[in-house]
Structure 1
């Protein structure tokens, strides 16, 4: 007898209908996503595919902590909307690497999106400590990359070379929940290749599933979110935090989903402070604003 959701024996729960955005939420989304992209001072590639490229902003200080920043957009959209925030972080004293990757609905999806994220972090200079951060679906990819040591050792993505810390900014943590709720026009199914393949593929690429049984990734982990996030169901945050015994949660009152990545906003200030605290724990690094 199968116990898989959607089988004849166990009916799939009804998807939740996302209520319309409030005026505040709609204005925040419009404001942040309409920011003019910022051209990076340096660009490069980490592979041969046209999407295996990165933008780089440096803080022009030799001891600047490195932040690898993964963009959101439900695995479908490009990284342009995150370039203003990447530039903002560089002005705050961080070196910021913003990689692209093959995306769902085009050249990517399973397995290419995950191949690219793994390759992007695996090609970082050996011995350079870094914080892996991501917003929304980029947060999902960051939390997944921090959990790669929990994969079976014969997985092509298995690795014990993990980030020194990980920060999820309003992250997607539960792909089964994304699929159940049909978020962003069934973005989870698009990522995993449809209903049938998703059942088999989900366990290897879902941070929440990987945590079950282990209870921790061993990587210092922070989930930072707004109390007024209208984009994601709040159980995307609470379920992961209940499963990850070492993760720390920061909830910002009066804050929505997008203003976390809005340069100069109070929420972005909280992101900078959190990155600064995480940088204090990086091996051999002095975080911005502090002296050794």
Structure 2
């Protein structure tokens, strides 16, 4: 089921997702599968803080719609990495999407501190990656090489609620391989579920969303910060879902400010 949205939201979505892709100056692989690649925009100097950016699109769409925003962040002085990964509806979904995110984050930074950012379903993957130390030790993605901080932009945080709302034509069921797999997999892939006992990932986390976001129920944002005692919720007045990633918008400037605040502590 698709949510009913206003004409203003529909126009915002068309405008932002219709931006011309930007070719990255660096293109590399982090694995052997054709989708295990990444684009990089190096910062102006070798000490530029690194941001790894995970794209949205309900786990289905590719990263190209986020290349203008990645280039915009790089122009603000950051080194920006935009990984591709296997996606649902094609080569990915569970478990391949999660395999690729874990591999990318264990490989690309090469021991360098970084801020992990993600928009919408990319925000879900960023919050999940920050919680990998909370997974059972025998889980395939358990790990302790975590980001230095996370900035989740209008993220999906609660997969059970997302499934109940049937967001984007049952995108969660497609990701996980069917409605019957939701409950058994929540303890492995759902940020809210992972946090319920621990109460914190130990990673400084900011959830930033627009007051006028019509794409996701706002409970997706508040549910997460209600269980993560160390997470900060930032609400931008008069802001929608997609303007967060629209280069040069007021919302995107707020994102740059938040990244500046988070990266300040990890500068070499």
TM range (shorter): over 0.9
2:100 maps to which of 116, 122, 137 = 116
Gaps of 5+ in 1: 1-16, 286-292
Partner deviation per Cα, 1:161-204 (whole Å, 9 max, x = no partner): 10000000000000011111100000000000101222211220
Q: Distance in 1 between matches of 2:8 and 2:120?
A: 19
Residues 1:37 and 2:13 aligned together = no
Match of residue 89 from structure 1: 73
Q: 2:8 aligns with which of 17, 21, 24?
A: 24
Query: Cα RMSD over matched residues?
Result: 1.0
* 2:162 matches 1:215: no
Give a deviation string over 1:12-49, Cα, whole Å, max 9, x none. Answer: xxxxx765211221111111010000011110010000
Question: How far apart are the structure 1 equivalents of 2:151 and 2:210?
Answer: 14
Q: 2:147 aligns with which of 163, 174, 180?
A: 163
Alpha-carbon distance in structure 2 between the residues aligned to 1:127 and 1:56 = 16
- Larger mean Cα displacement after TM superposition, 195-204 or 140-149: 195-204
| Runs of at least 4 residues off by over 2 Å | 17-20, 124-127
Q: TM-score, normalised by structure 2?
A: 0.98
**Structure whose CA Rg is larger:** 1
Match of 1:78 among 62, 81, 91: 62
Which residue of structure 1 lines up, in the alignment, with residue 218 of structure 2? 234
Q: Compared with structure 1, are the counterparts of its residues 38 and 177 closer, same or farther at alpha carbon in structure 2 (3 Å cutoff)?
A: same
Contact 2:2 2:166 in 1 (8 A): no
Q: In the TM superposition, what whole-angstrom CA distance separates every residue of 1:109-132 from its partner, at most 9, and x where no partner exists?
A: 000000000000000344311000
Task: State how far apart, in whole Å, the 1-side matches of 2:71 and 2:184 are.
Answer: 39
Task: Say whether residues 1:266 and 2:261 are aligned partners.
Answer: no
Give CA-to-partner distance per residue, 1:214-262, whole Å, 9 cap, x none: 0000000000000000000011011111000000111000000000000
- The structure with the largest helix share of the pair is 2
Please give the alpha-carbon distance, in whole angstroms, between the structure 1 residues aligned to 2:27 and 2:117: 19
Q: Match of 1:224, SS?
A: strand
Q: In structure 1, what is the Cα distance between the partners aligned to 2:139 and 2:76? A: 38
Unpaired runs of 5+ residues, structure 2, are none
* Maintained 8 Å contact 1:192/1:202: no
In the alignment, the residues of structure 1 paired with residue 178 and residue 224 of structure 2 have an alpha-carbon distance, to the nearest angstrom, of 24
TM-score, normalisation: structure 1: 0.90
> Is 2:42 aligned against 1:58?
yes
**Number of matched residues?**
268
Whole-Å Cα distance in 2 between the matches of residues 19 and 164 of structure 1? 35
Q: 1:51 to 1:18 in 2, by over 3 A?
A: closer
d(CA) in 2 for partners of 1:239, 1:19: 19
Secondary structure of 1:63 counterpart: coil
